Amino acid sequence: MNTSQTHIPERKNVFILGTAKRSGTNFLKNMLCIHEDCFSPGPIWEDFLLEHIDQLDNYVHYTSNRWNPNWKVEEQLHTQKSMKKALGTGLIRFLRSQLKTPEAQKKGINSDHVLITKTPSTESIDSFFEYFPNEYLIVITRDGRSVTESASKSFNKPQTIAMKEWNLYAEKTINIINSDLKTKKLLIVKYENLHKETEKELRRIINFLDLDEKSYNYSAIDNAPIIGSSDLAKKGELHWNPTKKTDSFQPNSRWEKWSNFKHSRYNWIAGESHKALGYEILNTKRLALVNTMLDLFWNPSFYIWYKVKKHLYSRKN
């Protein structure tokens, strides 16, 4: 009788969240998928599971409120905690169904592969471990100035809107870092470190995920293509087709030609979050009066933009 066993990796699900779009979620996902046990199958390229998770919060709340208190459901079943975990399990099962698509099957993917899924936002990150208590969460941060510059070039987003968006999601990230999550599977990754010292940072991530290092082809890192870089928008419409990396690709220096006023504006909006995430800031005059006057227009503009964006997606067919 043959007692040898083929190595079957533990079923894992890895969620990547980024501090706003252009934070490097594509880069990190593609680097992880070089590992032979990992796969990001599609067609759900960005899951956005947390963006409207408050709807499930309401569902759990209103449904459990309909149950007669005399039944003592909460005491016996721990309704809030157990229902959210059960709903999260269902969502995981749905995401993992991508591992069974014809395209995945052609590539030899099976249900034991590690699912890598991502969202370029930390919206509702505080709810993540309520719904997915046993899953791995990697949050990738990036210098907000680089994110602002990239978002402006990629999506023609007004820079003040981009700054405020980055600050909003950076604050949510900081809150989760400062919370009591020492026992959770949470890792913070800086895009700058991943770009400059890719192999070193990937070894740290692979160790965190408890994956087999021998199954990672580190020699493939340097030849990995660029996907979705804002540099591509300079030569035409932004796309997500793989593009060969050249020496001119310098994503960490996008903001170096900023004026003192632009730095002042950024510091006013996002300086505290910038420093809290471990980034050095360029000190400039605060220009308090000018920034206060600009806020009279941009604060309500951002509020409207944020609410309209969520509303439009909630009505999408």
User: What CATH number is associated with residue 179?
Assistant: 3.40.50.300
| pTM of the complete model | 0.87
CB distance 119 to 46 below 8 Å = yes
Would you state the pLDDT for residue 223?
75
* 207 part of a folded domain: yes
Q: Is 215 left (phi over 0), alpha (psi -120 to 50) or beta?
A: alpha
* Helical segments of 156-219, H only: 159-178, 191-196, 198-208
pLDDT tens digit string along 286-299?
999 999 999 999 99
Report d(CA 9, CA 37) in Å as an integer: 7
pLDDT tens digit string along 59-85?
999 999 999 999 999 999 998 899 999
pLDDT tens digit string along 5-61?
444 445 799 999 999 999 999 999 999 999 999 999 889 999 999 999 999 999 999
* 6 part of a folded domain: no
Report d(CA 133, CA 125) in Å as an integer: 12
* 5 part of a folded domain: no
The tokens describing 207, both together, are 């160790």
Dihedral angle sign, alpha carbons of residues 102, 49, 198, 144: positive
The tokens describing 105, both together, are 């099957």
* 74 part of a folded domain: yes
* 4 part of a folded domain: no
* 89 part of a folded domain: yes
Report d(CA 282, CA 289) in Å as an integer: 19
**Is residue 275 over pLDDT 70?**
yes
* Helical segments of 5-78, H only: 25-32, 54-65, 73-77
* 237 part of a folded domain: yes
Would you state the pLDDT for residue 264?
97
Dihedral angle sign, alpha carbons of residues 262, 264, 269, 270: positive
Would you state the pLDDT for residue 3?
38
How many structural domains does the chain have?
1
- If pLDDT is split at 50, 70 and 90, which confidence band does 2 have? very low
* 82 part of a folded domain: yes
Residues of the domain holding 260? 13-314
